[in-house]
Amino acid sequence: MSEAPPMEKVDTAVKDRRWQKKDGRKWVLLACVPHVVRGDYFEAGMDNVIKAAIAPRATRLVVHRSIAPRRKTIDDHPFVAGADCHGRLLLYASQGPEPEPPVLDGFYRGPLGEHHGFPKAYFICDTLKHKSTRLPDHGFPILHPGNAGLVAITKTIFHVADLHPIVGSDKAALLIYFSVPEIWATHVVDYPPRDRPWGGNGVVVHKTIVWWVDLSYGLLSCDISTRRQNLRFVPLPPDCELPPGTPDLDKRRCVGFRGDDLRYMGIHEREYDGKPVVSMWTLVDQDAGTWRLDCQPLVKDIWNDEGYKATKLPREIPTVAFIHPELPGNVAYFFMRSRLFGVNLYTRKVLEWQFFAMLNPPMRYHSSRFVRAWACPNSGSTFYMPHMEHDVNLERHGLVPLGASSGRDSHRYDGGSIRRNWGRIRLLPLRAAGHRRGGRHRQAPRCIKASAGNKMRYVQIHGPPDEQVVTIWTLDDRVHARWRREYEVPFVETWDGKRYKRSEMERKLALLHPNDPDVIYFFQGQLMLGGAEGGSGVRALRDDPLTKTPSVGTLPFFVRVWEEERAAEEMQMREAAKGRWVILVSVPHVAHDEFHFPPGTELRLNFGAPPFASRITVPRRIAPDRKAIDNYPYLAAADERHGRLLLYATQGPDPEPRPALDAFYLRPLGVHHGFAKAYFICDTTTREASRLPDPDHPFAILHPGNVGLLCYSISFYVAELQPAPASGTATLLLYRSDSDAWVDEELSYPPHDRPWGGNGMVSHQDRLWWVDLSYGLLTCDVVYGDDPPDLHYVPLPQDSELPAGTPDLEKRRCVGVSAGRLRYVQIDDEPDGDPIVRMWTLLDEDAGEWGFDCAASFVAIWDDEAYKATKLPRQVPAVALIHPTGPGDVVYFFLRSRIFAVDVRARRLLEWRFFEMLHPPMRYHSSQFVRAWNLPTLFQ
């Protein structure tokens, strides 16, 4: 008979106190993936229940399938993102159409991928009333439930905080849901990690302070009870930072509270001998980011404990589960083969163990991500019922909050477009304004908007259609929400005149003028009309046709997005232009048309000063096909005079279903073969994109790496070179904008029978230079040269030629223009194994003469103190680009999602940043996917 494992020698009362708070409540261990059941499981009026168990056994939430209709998979599953002390749980779940209901609540181990495009929602599960309430959509896509937290204010009032870092920016959108008055408020806050992506490893809450956790980097905190929200960054303990995206960190690390102390625990290998240790730290100074090391036992010492031996578990490194929330000392819990066991890390002794029935996900995924300690509001086995106060709903007073819906088609305009600049909008209780409902007449939406002179205005339209009155209030006291009535004007008096014809169509409020608080804009049908209130008549009138009239529920936000997004782009452009050049990512972001683009525009710009990434976003109608490593839209050329970009994209049928996210498939899909290919001219000054006509040629478009762009004021030229090695000739397809037509010329091909690499093109001295990184360059003057133009061959520097088709040359080599000179960079492995980076400058194109500039050993670069400070490994990086304007010999490199600049001559690292390229994934980062773009003068 097997012997039961011994436990710590304490009586039952002491053991029970391990999981009991000072106020008498009990801690339970909540599995974060709920159990999903069909309708006949619950009694009438219930849609959730808690299946409680005494810790350290598992407690589970059970919800109805109408809340979480989708099949569970490792890439999509309902998730308990937060819990409070009043019996409320914050539940995340995707809301796709319900599939054929499975008999069992299964979990698919492989990603199904079928949830992409389904809406995602947050629910508040009141486990005392057994009712679940879906929160209104906040207008942003829900990116990661690991960035959302639940904060209890009182028994009946709570807040939900959801953090959305803005990609490629030093800002983040902090969304806060107020249960009273049932609205989302959005704050644009400084994002201390700047361009580093956030890991989203969960949220811990203490009182009213929310702590967002990135187990590779640190924590962000914010007290959401304050009037002004600020994110404060606390780094992890020393030497704990890892590259972003490091996998399975929640199996090795966790963060949690023990009483009022924030603690961090991690399993890692000791530096000097590689033995696994468990470290427990306590945050002692948030302002200084100071941690105290409490203990650091060897995992081997835990294995040697008699209590551990009695469990019959193998001597394997366990998975981190959580830090005990109550016990004094250093008590942590771990998973191992479906068991959960507690360890006093200071004494290295196992305190208790239990089989942990988590159900979902399977054992291989058990980690700190899927379990949380919850001080549930039960006394014994009975939940107490809080007294429900009256909730104020602003929608009853005519205000449609952000993300709410009052029209059937409102979701058509909700989505990922509302990303930034909402910090200026603040929703306040309107009861103090003394407004009343307009009888039985349905009221148009109202708008609150901070405007000129720091005024907060509230506009109300009320009365029957033929007697409508416009009332404007000004907020005099922000603290007590006291409003003063500014104007009350009959609509017909304000709009009486020749410039406006009366209509029976309903007028719907659009927005306040951002600089003049007396000017208000309305929708009438598909027109937007603007006029001044206060008895001064019409001051301004604009007729802006819309492609489709927005629904009532989203009107106040639909228009304001256009205004503020453009303002943000212009601000980014001004900031980037201070450096006069940007690093442009060659694969654009693709978005749904209706979500991202103001009418009449087909581009969005997201610019950052180097070394931050700059990107453009184009609508899916321009690049409809799914991105894969064998087919993706590509910025083939950029004009430095007039702001034009040349974009290549295949034109296959719009896929069904349309992807909700702009994904990138790592494997070749092969589905694009036979699709038409097209070039677009993207004008960054007007935000317009024009498709070029297709060439009348048997091989219309062969390779975007062989196409170039030359611009002269209002006219421009596009040239694609199509070598035919078998015949020793090449075809030059040339598009002239003034004639809007392509011509083709047959040219002599200097490489004769050698195929051309097609590694891109650069423009220099009004000539086009086609690049083959294994062989050399071809150049010609397509505008002022001979007719037909002559192709001139310039070989690479001596001993640089490689066989045709040598792979991944873009990671080791690049050609670019720097300070008006054509330059070449190359990484070589020396015979002694020491990698070297070298630079040349083209001195004589006719003679093909290159001047050697400098060389640097990577060993010397790695030994530089600035490089050591980046914590990057001593690995050979990938070439990114040559600095286009700076003096000296500066080259940028990629390594592990970071970009860094090196002065090759001085062998010194100058700067580094995390580089948000988005697409393609990090493994493909190279000089092929970025370009240095000197901004046109009009941007500067």
DSSP 778-794: EEE-TTTS-SSPPPEEE
Among residues 328, 357, 380, which one ends one of the domains?
380
Q: In 3D, which of 651, 591, 653 has the Cα closest to residue 618?
A: 591
Question: Which pLDDT value is given to residue 554?
Answer: 34
* Phi and psi angles of residue 827, each rounded to the nearest 5 degrees, phi first: -105, 130
Residue whose C-alpha is closest to residue 464's, from 431, 434, 441 = 441
State the average pLDDT over residues 177-198.
88
- The answer to whether 530 and 515 are in contact (CB under 8 A) is no
Within-domain flag for 713: no
The pair of structure tokens assigned to 510 is 């659009």
Those residues with Cβ within 8 angstroms of residue 104's Cβ, 6 or more apart along the chain or in another chain: none
Region of poorest pLDDT, from 482-496, 585-599, 910-924: 482-496
Spatial CB neighbours of 125, under 8 Å, sequence gap ≥ 6: 48, 61, 63, 88, 89, 90, 91, 131, 132
Residue 220 CA to residue 212 CA, distance in Å, equals 5
Same domain, 400 and 546: yes
Does 409 share its domain with 550? yes
Q: Confidence class of residue 104 from pLDDT cuts 50, 70 and 90?
A: low
Confidence of residue 14 (pLDDT cuts 50, 70, 90): very low
Better-scored residue on pLDDT, 267 or 580 = 267
User: Is 262 a member of any domain?
Assistant: yes
Q: Which of 527, 557, 587 is the last residue of a domain?
A: 557
- Whether 330 and 419 map to the same domain: the answer is no
Confidence of residue 371 (pLDDT cuts 50, 70, 90): very high
Sheet of strand 148-152, all strands in order from the earlier edge strand to the far edge:
148-152, 158-165, 171-178, 183-190
- The DSSP code for 71 is P
Whole-number Å distance between alpha carbons of 371 and 321: 7
Do 330 and 283 have their domain in common? yes
Worst-scoring range by mean pLDDT, 431-445, 661-675, 758-772? Answer: 431-445
Q: What is the pLDDT of residue 642?
A: 87
| Same domain? 376 vs 401 | no
With respect to residue 372, please indicate whether it lies within any of the assigned structural domains: yes
User: 272, 260, 252: which is closest to 211 by C-alpha?
Assistant: 260
The model's confidence at residue 478, banded by pLDDT at 50, 70 and 90, is low
Q: Specify which residues 912 forms β-bridges with.
A: 900
More confident residue, 75 or 243: 243
Prior bond to 788 cis, omega within 30?
Answer: yes
Domain boundary among 380, 408, 423: 380
Give yes or no: residues 309 and 252 share one domain: yes
Q: Please state the rounded mean pLDDT for residues 256-261.
A: 91
Assess whether 375 and 441 both reside in one domain: no
Q: Is the pLDDT of residue 514 over 70?
A: no
What per-residue confidence (pLDDT) applies to 509?
Answer: 66
Residue 621 has pLDDT above 80, yes or no: yes
More confident residue, 56 or 513: 56
Of the candidate ranges 252-256, 438-442, 772-776, the one whose mean pLDDT is the lowest: 438-442
Helices (H) and strands (E) in the chain, counts: 8, 63
pLDDT at residue 473 in the model: 75
CA–CA distances in Å: residue 931 to residues 312, 585, 620: 58, 7, 23
Task: Out of 746-750, 828-832, 863-867, pick the least confident.
Answer: 828-832
- The arithmetic mean of pLDDT across residues 802-828, rounded, is 94
Q: 3-class DSSP state for residue 217?
A: coil
Query: Residue 454: its pLDDT value, please?
Result: 54
Give yes or no for a contact between 311 and 339, defined as CB atoms under 8 angstroms apart.
yes
Q: Quote the CA–CA distance of 524 and 505 in Å, as a whole number.
A: 6
Residue with tokens 């088709």: 805
Q: What is the pLDDT of residue 551?
A: 38
Q: How many CB atoms lie within 10 A of CB 43?
A: 8
Residue 697 corresponds to which tokens in the numbers above?
């040629």
Instruction: Give the C-alpha separation, 718 to 770, whole Å.
Output: 13
- Say yes or no: 271 and 367 in one domain: yes
The length of the chain, given as a count of residues: 940
| Claim to verify: residue 364 and residue 478 sit in the same structural domain | no
Q: How many domains, in total, are found in the chain? A: 2
Strand-strand pairing, 627-628 and 664-665 = parallel
Residue percentage of the chain with pLDDT more than 70: 72
Burial zone of 773 (CB within 10 Å; 0-12 exposed, 13-18 middle, 19+ buried) = buried
Strand partners, 905: none
Flag the least confident range among 199-208, 302-311, 513-522, 725-734: 513-522
Whether the Cβ atoms of residue 241 and residue 217 lie closer than 8 Å to each other: yes
Q: How far apart, in whole angstroms, are the C-alpha atoms of residue 472 and residue 292? A: 56
For residue 435, what pLDDT band results from cuts at 50, 70 and 90? very low
Domain that holds residue 450: 394-557
Question: Contact 818/885 with Cβ under 8 angstroms?
Answer: yes
pTM over 0.75: no
Q: Do 361 and 497 belong together in one domain?
A: no
Helix (H) or strand (E) holding 899: strand 898-903
282 membership: H or E segment, kind and range: strand 276-285
How is residue 229 written in tokens? 């929200």
